[in-house]
Structure 1
Amino acid sequence: MKSLGNIRRSFAPWADPASKPFISFRNVTKKFGDFTAVDDLSLDIYHREFFALLGASGCGKSTLLRMLAGFEQPTSGEIVLDGADMTGMPPYRRPVNMMFQSYALFPHMTVEKNIAFGLKQDGMPKDEIADRVGQLLKLVKLEKFATRRPNQLSGGQRQRVALARSLAKRPKVLLLDEPLGALDKKLREETQFELMDLQQNLGLTFVVVTHDQEEAMTMADRIAVMSHGKVVQVATPAEIYEAPNCRFVADFIGDVNIFDGKVKAGGNGVVEIAVEGGPTLRTATSDTPASGSSVGFAIRPEKIRVTRAAPANASVNAARGELWDIAYLGDMTVFHVKLAGGNVIKASSLNAQRAVEDPFTYDQEVWVSFDEDAGVLLKD
């Protein structure tokens, strides 16, 4: 499939048939008694990739990360890292390190001693430890805080100490389990970009577990959306958002309107869908379903126009309704429009101008409309 949306960097080894995965989960299953946390899962991650495991609580993403770290062993299947089978290998022998959500810093140690702890355990010479710690303090911009203890640092600073300690032994893969969950919103957003820059500068493979969609969309080269121990879709953030492969992904990622209907007609890359209590939909598709089959149609709020006047072609992808709710959010305004058949459509509009002349009001009659290529057909 053609790449969608903006691309942060020219990096797509998964699209090159000659590229070999750096990490492979091969038919991995993990059971805890009668409960299956990970269900016959196969997944490839590439060298220098920033990869995100995204899903709701209990979907199996943290269990997958812990199996890669060696804290859990698969019930069946195998995990291969850089050509080596990790089956049965203890955590301390694996070329990975994990940064936990709680940071797990030693409260009685200074910043530099926290970072140096693992290196001392490995018996590295003191002068080499000092050099390595100095490099890492500079990398995470904490040179002035080297002699402080964790309780003398802010949440963002403690997060950086934990990151530096995770990188001290120069792992091939850094695993991050909800790494920004303890930070406030503004600091979390700043740290996301810092992690991206750091990952690219170091040239390491990062695998992050998160339930925060925005976090995954911001940082990751690719995202694996998980549900009930399985991977539902693996793709770039833009492809996940613009071209979800099923109803679950469309509904899980961001805001979306989903209509259920039956195929009226199709051909030449376009299909028409009849929606009970809603507009007739016409959408572009590369795979036309059979006439009369039940399908879903997903469209994002920002793809929908809200106007006072009817569009030029009001017979398809357009409907008249009543403004039910209006939410002014500063950068955008969100509208809930109730159609004559009872369906409610969510639309959003960017507030590009500082002042709004003749604003929309509650209970006002409006039209909603969108283009043929604005939504995506869902077959399940």
Structure 2
Amino acid sequence: MAVDGRRRGSLAIGAVRRDFAPWADPAATPFIRFERVTKRYGDVAAVADLSLDIFEREFFCLLGPSGCGKTTLMRMLAGFEAASEGRIVLAGQDLSGVPPYRRPVNMMFQSYALFPHMSVERNIAFGLEQDRLPKAEITERVVEMLRLVQLEPFARRRPAQLSGGQRQRVALARALAKRPKVLLLDEPLGALDKKLREETQFELMDLQVKLGMTFLVVTHDQEEAMTMADRIAVMDHGRIVQVATPGEIYEQPASRYVAEFIGDVNILEGKVSEAGEGRCTLAVADAPAPVSVAGVAEPLKPGQEVALALRPEKLVLTHEAPPAGTPNVFAGTVWDIGYLGDWTIYLVRLASGRTLRVSRANATRFVERPLSWDDEVFVHFAPEAGVVLTR
């Protein structure tokens, strides 16, 4: 099998994902389109006037807290819920009135919903038997799925005889056996432990590329979304607040809500003192001097109130004062320390009483003069490190 004319060997997967960006092509036609979709339960709108385009072979993620409408949106695509307003189009077909079993989608549930009295191979074959496919074709597909998810030695076991990760693979194989155009995954890794979850994320990414299939995953786990997705839609109260690649979501959040929801961040309140082409100077109450910011995306006006988002890993923490002329310098005291193995988190208390969160990679085993509690330190950051938020 090939993707875009290339062999699907293990060395090609990274290249395929790196080059895949149909959303950047104005001529590309969306595979799935939500057009001003609203879903109401009584007076409450679980999804509100939402429009979204997803492209064929995209690994797309709906990300947000519980109750934001992400699962409702997925269930409407699957046909388990009907939209109150708007329409959903898949591969050019309006899905209005099309029952779930007639839609070219399949859904893998968080609970896996395996039949405990059936073997692995019977679980995988169940949907194919319901569709009354020829026995020879069912057998062929089951063998193919067992090989795909590497469960061939476990074909005759029952779910109770499998680990959590193996049960997850059975559920995935059953969902893929019917060869849907779109695979819907509702919190697919939530029941796995952290290490297995991280391993499975990469397995799902590789599998999605090998199959050339469109995956739509719902999750509240930011790391999971950032790892797997080609693009992420961040949701809040039934609306989409930003759609972008993981890198864009993290480095260029569209709002304070996105900046705070994705990863760790320090938010400083400020007022624009000067504004120019892509640059500005802010008066920040916690800073002893004006703060300089570069790479500003939006036009700003002097006197405008804004927020400055600073990721902890972009802050530099030192014992000694940085050289004269270094921009954006804060003095403070180490208030608390959290050692995470690969990273150490420092909470630095400023003279204003504000605490900054700073992270440092533990690149070496030994440090000449390690930072400790109550040390007087300096924090500074480059003008390009901060993001000015107007919303």
* TM-score band, normalised by shorter chain: over 0.9
Which of structure 1's runs of 4+ aligned residues deviate more than 4 A?
A: none
The equivalent of 1:145 in structure 2 is 154
- Residues 321, 365 of structure 1: 8 Å contact kept: yes
The equivalent of 2:386 in structure 1 is 375
Amino acid across the alignment from 1:304: L
Rounded Cα–Cα distance in structure 1 between residues aligned with 2:198 and 2:166: 14
Residue segments in structure 1 that go unaligned for 5+ positions in a row: 1-5
Rounded Cα–Cα distance in structure 1 between residues aligned with 2:353 and 2:193: 39
Alpha carbon RMSD of aligned pairs, Å? 1.2
CA 1:7 to 1:224, structure 2 compared with 1: closer, same or farther past 3 Å?
A: farther
Does residue 346 of structure 2 align to residue 335 of structure 1? yes
Rounded Cα–Cα distance in structure 1 between residues aligned with 2:17 and 2:253: 20
Identity of aligned residues (%): 65
DSSP-derived class of the 1:283 partner: strand
Rounded Cα–Cα distance in structure 2 between residues aligned with 1:39 and 1:268: 36
- Residues 337, 344 of structure 2: 8 Å contact kept: yes
* Greater Cα shift, 65-74 or 274-283: 274-283
Q: Kindly tell me the number of residue pairs found equivalent between the two proteins.
A: 375
1:111-126 → structure 2 map (5 Å cutoff): 111-126=120-135
Rounded Cα–Cα distance in structure 1 between residues aligned with 2:258 and 2:237: 13
Does residue 314 of structure 2 align to residue 303 of structure 1? yes
DSSP-derived class of the 1:373 partner: helix
Does residue 89 of structure 2 align to residue 71 of structure 1? no
- Residues 327, 383 of structure 2: 8 Å contact kept: no
The equivalent of 1:132 in structure 2 is 141
Rounded Cα–Cα distance in structure 1 between residues aligned with 2:96 and 2:71: 18
Displacement of 1:351 in angstroms is 0.5
Amino acid across the alignment from 2:169: R
1:1-380 → structure 2 map (5 Å cutoff): 8-279=17-288, 280-284=290-294, 285-313=296-324, 316-380=327-391
| Cα shift readout 1:39-75 (whole Å, capped 9, x = no counterpart) | 0000000000000000000000000000000000000
Amino acid across the alignment from 2:131: D
Rounded Cα–Cα distance in structure 1 between residues aligned with 2:332 and 2:90: 55
Rounded Cα–Cα distance in structure 2 between residues aligned with 1:212 and 1:13: 25
Rounded Cα–Cα distance in structure 1 between residues aligned with 2:64 and 2:252: 18
Amino acid across the alignment from 2:272: V
Displacement of 1:107 in angstroms is 0.6
| Cα shift readout 1:153-197 (whole Å, capped 9, x = no counterpart) | 000000000000001110000000000000011110010000000
Displacement of 1:363 in angstroms is 1.0
Displacement of 1:312 in angstroms is 2.3
- Residues 271, 288 of structure 1: 8 Å contact kept: no
Rounded Cα–Cα distance in structure 1 between residues aligned with 2:375 and 2:193: 38
- Residues 244, 250 of structure 1: 8 Å contact kept: yes
The equivalent of 1:3 in structure 2 is none
Rounded Cα–Cα distance in structure 2 between residues aligned with 1:248 and 1:287: 17
Displacement of 1:7 in angstroms is 9.6
DSSP-derived class of the 2:232 partner: strand
- Residues 278, 343 of structure 1: 8 Å contact kept: no
- Residues 224, 231 of structure 1: 8 Å contact kept: yes
Residue segments in structure 2 that go unaligned for 5+ positions in a row: 1-14
